[in-house]
Amino acid sequence: MDLAYLRAHPQHLPTFLTHQRIRETPVGGGDVCTASRLTLDDGTSLFAKTWPSGNAPQHFFATEAAGLNWLREANAAPVPEVFVALDEMLALEWIEPGTASIAAAERFGRDLAALHRTGADGFGAPWPGFIGPLAQDNTPSTGSWGDWFAERRLRPYLRISSDRGAISPQDVTAVERILTTISSYDQNEPPARLHGDLWPGNVLWSADGRAWLVDPAAHGGHRETDLAQLALFGGAPHLDRIVAAYEEVWPLSAGWRGRVPLHQLQLLLVHTAAFGSAYRGAVRAAADAVLDS
pLDDT tens digits for range 15-59 = 888 878 889 998 986 678 999 999 999 999 999 999 987 788 999
One-letter amino acid identity for 11?
A: Q
Q: Where among 93, 122, 140 does a domain terminate?
A: 93
Average pLDDT for residues 3-19, to the nearest whole number? 90
User: Tens of pLDDT along 65-93?
Assistant: 999 999 999 999 999 999 999 999 999 99
Contacting residues for 154 by C-beta, under 8 A, at least 6 apart: 175, 178, 179, 182, 265, 266, 269
Count of domains observed in the chain: 2
Query: Are 114 and 204 found together in one domain?
Result: yes
Q: In this structure, are 150 and 51 located in the same domain?
A: no
Shared-domain flag, residues 84 and 165: no
Q: Quote the domain boundaries for residue 118.
A: 102-292
pLDDT of residue 84: 96
CA distance readout (Å), 43 to 19, 26, 28, 89:
19, 17, 21, 21
- Residues 136-194: pLDDT tens digits? 999 999 899 999 999 999 999 999 999 999 999 999 999 999 999 999 998 889 999 99
The mean pLDDT value for 225-238 works out to 98
Mean pLDDT for 3-20 is 90
The CATH number linked to 71 is 3.30.200.20
Q: How confident is the model at residue 293 (pLDDT cuts 50, 70, 90)?
A: confident
CATH code of residue 279? 3.90.1200.10
Predicted local confidence at residue 113, as pLDDT: 98
Query: How far is the C-alpha of 196 from the C-alpha of 283, rounded, in Å?
Result: 18
pTM of the model: 0.95
Q: Do 170 and 28 reside in the same domain of the chain? A: no
Judgement on whether residues 50 and 130 belong to the same structural domain of the protein: no
Give the residue from 93, 120, 149 where a domain finishes: 93
pLDDT at position 29 is 66
Domain-ending residue, one of 76, 93, 110: 93
Segment 96-109 shows an average pLDDT of 97
